[in-house]
Amino acid sequence: MRQQHLLVATSALGLIASVAIGGANAQDKTIKIGALLPMSGPGAYFGSQDKQGIELALEQLNKSMVNGYKFTIQYEDSACSPLPASQAAKRLLDQYKPDVIIGEECSDATLAIMPIIEQAKVPMINAGSSALKITDPGNPYTFRIMPNEVMQGVDIASQAYNKLNARTAVLLFENTNAGIGNAKVFKETFEKLGGKILAEIGFGRDVNDFTSIATRVAGLGKIDVIPTYTLEGQGLKITQALAQAGVVKGGDGPAIQLGTIWLPFGFEQKAGKAATGYVRIVQFDPTDPRDMVKNFVSAFKAKFNSDPTHLNAHAYDQIMLIADVVKRGAKDAQSIRDMLAQTKSFVGVTGSVEFDKNNQNVKMDTIHYMETQPDLSWKALKWN
């Protein structure tokens, strides 16, 4: 009888222990994601929109988990600026100890974070910074899923020359790594094709009134295109000032403003009539007929009661790419890095991903050219 009691007690203890161990394992099977995103300052709209995409992806993934792993996230405000970004990265690595990081949006901030995450040997997936240096030479721990400034710049300059028959251009750009870099690539490509750059006008992020810049542009003679590289707030003011000065189509002028993915969806509605004729790259086409995109759009609408932007979509894809490498067997920082480097055929809502030896996505199917119509809707130009 006593032996029987002992047996039952031992079995019970064993069961409790196995449950406890099992529970501990289940608890341990977590992929910790650190998010370094701008939550304050002029780039804060990136962070707020990224966060929506992330939350939707995590909600979907954690319902069923991936290979038994659940995903958790911690956000740090990196403010689109090198110093706060570096501090946020150190804080995140010291305190949260993530397996993988996503961010930053602004190139200067991303470049500042890169040596820190390399030293910590934690991979980072970037979806918003276009500066070439991020992946050329880059480092083994930084991955970029969007086209870099050269890929975008060469394409947009070629399209301007060939499709819009542009022969003269004025470059407007913020004085940051990304702004200067993007403008430089456009200039080199456009001049090589035979175009002429009439002026290169850079400005700080503290400039508010663009009337003086528009006046200068108006005095430069016949301008075909005005490639513009700024964040949303300054972009709005530039577009409106150029229209007031009668330079661009939105102000009944001849010039066409060209933009990149820096501007979020909804820019046209804010800029109003001034945005008419604006041609820009967007990296997510909400009318894409693929089921994956349709499901994403409907899930996003159901959760946030609004249409997703390319920033929402990019952030969603970053998390889904992490889930993809976990599905392929990754379980910690090093294996996530290694699996990311081997990524050849990830398909997300923005497009597909295949990393080259520098961890740059080589796919160009995320670039869509849109022209703003007088009713502020988009017309897909289908140039790619």
Partner 1 sequence: MTATIVAQQAINGIVLGSLYVLVALGLTLIYGVLVQINFAHADFVTLGAFAAYFVMHALGGQYLLGIVAALLVGAALGWAINITVFAPLRRKGNELLPLIATIGVSVMLQNAMLAWFGPVPYAFETPYSQKVFRVAGTFFTLQSVIIIAVSATTIALLYAFMKFTFLGKALRAVAQDRETAGLMGINPNTLIMLTIVISSALAGMGGAMLAPVLVLTPFAGASVIVKAFAIVIIGGFGNVEGTILAGLLVGLIESFTTQYLDPGLIDIVVFGLLLLMLAFRPTGLISERREENV
**CA–CA separation, 337 and 69 (whole Å):** 17
Structure token pair of residue 357: 């030896």
| Residue among 102 and 247 whose Cβ is closer to partner 1 | 247
* Least distance in angstroms from the C-beta of 211 to partner 1: 5
Tokens 């409907």 found at: 298
| Residue among 46 and 161 whose Cβ is closer to partner 1 | 46
**Is residue 278 packed enough to be buried (19+ CB in 10 Å), middle (13-18) or exposed (0-12)?**
buried
Residues within the interface to partner 1 (CB under 8 A): 39-42, 44-45, 47-49, 175, 201-204, 206-209, 211-213, 215-216, 219, 232-234, 236-237, 240, 244-246, 251, 264, 269-273
Q: Are 109 and 142 in contact (CB under 8 A)?
A: no
* Least distance in angstroms from the C-beta of 150 to partner 1: 23
Respond yes or no on whether the N-terminal peptide bond of residue 374 is cis (omega within 30° of 0).
no
* Least distance in angstroms from the C-beta of 289 to partner 1: 29
* Least distance in angstroms from the C-beta of 244 to partner 1: 5
| Residue among 51 and 363 whose Cβ is closer to partner 1 | 51
| Residue among 164 and 207 whose Cβ is closer to partner 1 | 207
| Residue among 219 and 329 whose Cβ is closer to partner 1 | 219
| Residue among 206 and 291 whose Cβ is closer to partner 1 | 206
* Cα 333 from chain centroid (whole Å): 21
* Least distance in angstroms from the C-beta of 10 to partner 1: 57
| Residue among 98 and 128 whose Cβ is closer to partner 1 | 128
Structure token pair of residue 110: 């991303």
* Least distance in angstroms from the C-beta of 182 to partner 1: 16
| Residue among 115 and 246 whose Cβ is closer to partner 1 | 246
* Least distance in angstroms from the C-beta of 376 to partner 1: 12
* Least distance in angstroms from the C-beta of 237 to partner 1: 6
* Least distance in angstroms from the C-beta of 148 to partner 1: 24
| Residue among 37 and 114 whose Cβ is closer to partner 1 | 37
